Amino acid sequence: AQKVTQAQTEISVVEKEDVTLDCVYETRDTTYYLFWYKQPPSGELVFLIRRNSFDEQNEISGRYSWNFQKSTSSFNFTITASQVVDSAVYFCALSELGGGSNYKLTFGKGTLLTVNP
């Protein structure tokens, strides 16, 4: 089973629509961290948000919002009023010890979001 599952491979929306990117994770650790990264066509991954396992407060940053629910092991990402510049691949990632001595960051396969004008 995948540790980080992003079931949506590709999503296409029209500008100004709201869109939610799903992320489901799997871990046995009680302390872990979740991340979202954006990868525009230029290639570099851009950090968007970090959430630790003890903080289930939802967060809003401008048009971006994140919904962390431990009960369903989900960390979903919503873009409100999408814009063409939001077109990118979005990655959800989990950082955990998993029984090891170093934290390991595991990425999902990513969701390609295309926002059409």
Binding site for other proteins (CB under 8 A): 4, 31-33, 35, 37, 42-47, 50, 52, 91, 95-97, 102-110
Paired tokens of 66 = 């994140």
Backbone angles phi, psi at 42, to 5 degrees: -65, -20
Complex with other proteins: residue 5 or 80, whichever CB lies closer: 5
DSSP letters along 63-83, please? Answer: TEEEEEEGGGTEEEEEESS--
Shortest Å, Cβ 64 to other proteins: 15
Complex with other proteins: residue 66 or 82, whichever CB lies closer: 66
Q: How far apart are CA 78 and CA 96, in angstroms?
A: 24
Q: Which DSSP state fits 86?
A: G
Shortest Å, Cβ 81 to other proteins: 26
Complex with other proteins: residue 64 or 80, whichever CB lies closer: 64
